[in-house]
Amino acid sequence: MAQPPPHERGAALLGVLLLVAIMAVLAGLMLDRLGLATRLAGNAQAQAAARRALAEGEVRLLARLAQLGGALHRAERGGWAVPRGQIAWQLAPGGNCFNVNALVDAAPDGALRARPAGLLELRALMASLGIPADQAGPLAAAMADWIDSDALSLPDGAEDVDYARLATPYRTAGRPLVAVGELRAVRGMTGAFYARLAPWLCALPEVGSSPIALGSLVPGQGRLLAMFAPDALSVARAEQIIAQAPPGGYRDLASALGLAQGLATGEIVLTDRWLRARLVATIDSQALEEELLIDAGTTPPRIAGRSWGEAADR
């Protein structure tokens, strides 16, 4: 048998070694892909388990509220263990804010029209937050025009025809708002005004009223009480009313507000109808969060809305 030339000796061995190296690289890539697929499948399973846990948390939370009769005066929190993880929850009064949908009320035919009382309340709230009257009035009017269903502008307001003249034209909502973040598109709503107003606003699924629950107001929220009668009740006096509440809360509105405060008691209630809950389900390393709006005015309490994502957009 012929012997290979001296300079070719070991070439076959090098070829085999190169082939082994290539196979090792391919095997490593395959194992990496397999590990990634395994992790993705595990994450998907954990996300599905977290969604099931949130559904379980909703049922438990509603059952707890039913036992309490739907009444809640202060924020509460707690948690439950579930397979592979836990559910953390927070429950707080959800109606102590100015409901932007109270800027309109519904006519018998269902049309939404501007509500003067709501405009006055919003302007009083803006004044307590330091927004100048010459800017608060047009902004409040534009907010009402954004929600009402007609095409007629309020004095200093803005309707579709005004937004149509913009470089990027758009239309008003013409319906109750779902999230306060929608107000960013209203004429006159600057970033500074939105940052100042947003913590005091909410978008509840009802029009025509923005009732404030006296029993769950906390120090620092006096302007929500004073906005109903700014000429008769100062923010400082409203803060005193809140701070002087007896340990068990006020038993009736007359003892809290007196007879000379000039407040329309229809807008002041003792207990909250609306509650907000935050649920966080953590399964393995996956966490899923949702926020609930609960109508505690029904028997039993029911979920009126769910939201996910950034709180600023809700």
302 within some domain:
no
6 within some domain:
no
**In a shared domain, residues 70 and 105:** no
pLDDT higher than threshold 70 for residue 279: yes
Look up the domain containing 155 and give its range: 96-203
Query: Residue 314: CB partners within 8 Å, gap ≥ 6?
Result: 179, 180, 181, 291, 307
Q: What is the pLDDT of residue 265?
A: 53
Number of neighbouring beta carbons within 10 Å of residue 231: 8
| Structure confidence by residue, pLDDT tens digits, 255-278 | 777 654 556 556 888 888 899 999
**In a shared domain, residues 119 and 87:** no
**In a shared domain, residues 69 and 128:** no
How many helices (DSSP H) and strands (DSSP E) are in the chain? Answer: 8, 11
- Using omega within 30 degrees of 0 as the cis cutoff, is the peptide bond preceding 300 cis? yes
We report the CATH number of the domain holding residue 131 as 1.10.40.60
**In a shared domain, residues 51 and 105:** no
Q: What is the pLDDT of residue 251?
A: 75
Cβ 140 vs Cβ 127: under 8 Å: no
**In a shared domain, residues 85 and 128:** no
170 within some domain:
yes
**In a shared domain, residues 123 and 89:** no
Cβ 273 vs Cβ 95: under 8 Å: yes
**In a shared domain, residues 69 and 154:** no
CA-to-CA distance for 225 and 256, rounded, in angstroms?
12
pLDDT higher than threshold 90 for residue 307: no
Structural domains counted in the chain: 2
| Structure confidence by residue, pLDDT tens digits, 122-153 | 999 999 999 999 999 999 999 999 999 999 99
Residues present in the chain in total: 314
304 within some domain:
no
For residue 50, name the pLDDT band (cuts at 50, 70, 90): confident
Q: What is the pLDDT of residue 68?
A: 76
101 within some domain:
yes
| Structure confidence by residue, pLDDT tens digits, 56-108 | 999 999 988 888 776 666 778 899 888 888 999 998 888 889 999 999 999 99
CA-to-CA distance for 172 and 152, rounded, in angstroms?
12
| Structure confidence by residue, pLDDT tens digits, 286-297 | 888 999 999 988
**In a shared domain, residues 89 and 100:** no
284 within some domain:
yes
**In a shared domain, residues 86 and 103:** no
Average pLDDT over residues 154-162: 94
Q: What is the pLDDT of residue 230?
A: 86
CA-to-CA distance for 26 and 207, rounded, in angstroms?
64
Q: Where are the beta strands (DSSP E) in the chain?
A: 76-82, 85-93, 98-99, 104-106, 112-114, 201-202, 212-213, 268-269, 274-283, 286-295, 302-307
Q: Which residue has the higher pLDDT, 206 or 42?
A: 206
Cα dihedral 35, 283, 82, 278, rounded to 10, equals -170
Cβ 135 vs Cβ 188: under 8 Å: yes
Range with the lowest mean pLDDT among 31-40, 176-185, 213-222, 278-287?
Answer: 31-40
Q: What is the pLDDT of residue 69?
A: 73
Average pLDDT over residues 49-53: 87
Q: What is the pLDDT of residue 312?
A: 46
60 within some domain:
yes
Q: What is the pLDDT of residue 24?
A: 81
Find tokens 């008769």 and name the residue: 232
**In a shared domain, residues 153 and 180:** yes
210 within some domain:
no
| Structure confidence by residue, pLDDT tens digits, 162-201 | 999 999 999 999 999 999 999 999 999 999 999 999 999 9
**In a shared domain, residues 161 and 130:** yes
**In a shared domain, residues 55 and 111:** no
Q: What is the pLDDT of residue 300?
A: 87
Q: What is the pLDDT of residue 210?
A: 84
- Taking the CA atoms of 6, 7, 12 and 18 in sequence, report the sign of the dihedral they define: positive
Domain boundary, last residue among 151, 176, 203: 203
| Structure confidence by residue, pLDDT tens digits, 239-261 | 998 888 887 777 777 777 765 45
